[in-house]
Structure formats: structure tokens, C-alpha cells
């Protein structure tokens, strides 16, 4: 499987989980819609600067977005409910409507399994 193909599938999953179009992603990240379209159709790869904008806004790991198997990418990167909620807050603050499904259900739709709950971190008392 080529790197472009993997990246395109992962990018589609990323946009799908947040229920946004390439045009909306442009508005949020200031990455050209033409570039996003070329990435989604596997005709071009992203520049380092564009990749940085994308991964910073959506809070995903660059290596995972570029090369991780899509099912693992969805489970490991997009299945994090806290990350999902932070990104959705950024999207909503810029006029985005909230998705109709909960993040765990979106991940289940894409992978067939619900994400594992993460335990909150605790600090030890002296």
C-alpha cells in the first residue's frame, strides 16, 4: 500500500469523524482546498508546513496520519474521546455544527469496535 493511499484514507477518516468537508477544513486550517483535494485523490503529497497545520489543528500524530493502517489510525488517534472533544470545541468556536453521533459511535462505525475508555491520571500524594 502506497504512502499516498494510506494518507488519503486516514485524511478521509479524520474529516469524516469530525463531519467536515475539504472546504471546511480549509477554513479551519488555512490549507488550500486544491491541496486538500489533491491529497484526497492521491495526486499530491502534503508539504511539511501543511502537514504541521493539519496535525496541530486536529491533534493527531504526523507519522500516524501519514503511514498508520487506517483501522489503527482511527482506533488510536481518532478514538481518543478527550482529543475529539477538544477538536470539536475548536471547530464549534469557528461556527461548526456539532456532529450527530458521539465520538465513540463514530469510531465503532469505522472499526467495528468501541474505543477503550481511558482512565484519568492520578497524582501521588507525598
Predicted pLDDT of residue 60: 92
Tens-digit pLDDT profile for residues 103-122:
556 556 556 665 555 555 55
Mean pLDDT along residues 10-29: 89
Report d(CA 119, CA 121) in Å as an integer. Answer: 6
* Nearest in space to 88 (alpha carbons), one of 12, 17, 11: 17
User: So where are the chain's domains?
Assistant: 3-111
Q: Is the pLDDT of residue 37 over 60?
A: yes
Predicted pLDDT of residue 95: 63
Predicted pLDDT of residue 100: 47
Report, at the CATH architecture level, how domain 3-111 is classified. Answer: Orthogonal Bundle (1.10)
Q: Is the pLDDT of residue 35 over 70?
A: yes
> Scanning the structure block, which residue is given the C-alpha cell 477538536?
87
Predicted pLDDT of residue 125: 59
Tens-digit pLDDT profile for residues 51-103:
999 999 999 999 888 888 888 888 888 888 898 899 999 988 886 444 445 55
Mean pLDDT along residues 2-20: 86
* Nearest in space to 57 (alpha carbons), one of 37, 36, 38, 34: 36
Amino acid at each position: 500500500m502506497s504512502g499516498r493511499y494510506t494518507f488519503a484514507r486516514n485524511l478521509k477518516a479524520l474529516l469524516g469523524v469530525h463531519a467536515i468537508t475539504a472546504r471546511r477544513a480549509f477554513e479551519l486550517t488555512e490549507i488550500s482546498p486544491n491541496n486538500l483535494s489533491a491529497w484526497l485523490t492521491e495526486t499530491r503529497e502534503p508539504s511539511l508546513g501543511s502537514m504541521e497545520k493539519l496535525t496541530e489543528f486536529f491533534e493527531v500524530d504526523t507519522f500516524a496520519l501519514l503511514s498508520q493502517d487506517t483501522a489503527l489510525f482511527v482506533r488510536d488517534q481518532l478514538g481518543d474521546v478527550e482529543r475529539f472533544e477538544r477538536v470539536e470545541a475548536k471547530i464549534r468556536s469557528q461556527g461548526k455544527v456539532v456532529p450527530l453521533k458521539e465520538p465513540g459511535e463514530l469510531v465503532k462505525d469505522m472499526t467495528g469496535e468501541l474505543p477503550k475508555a481511558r482512565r484519568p491520571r492520578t497524582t501521588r500524594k507525598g
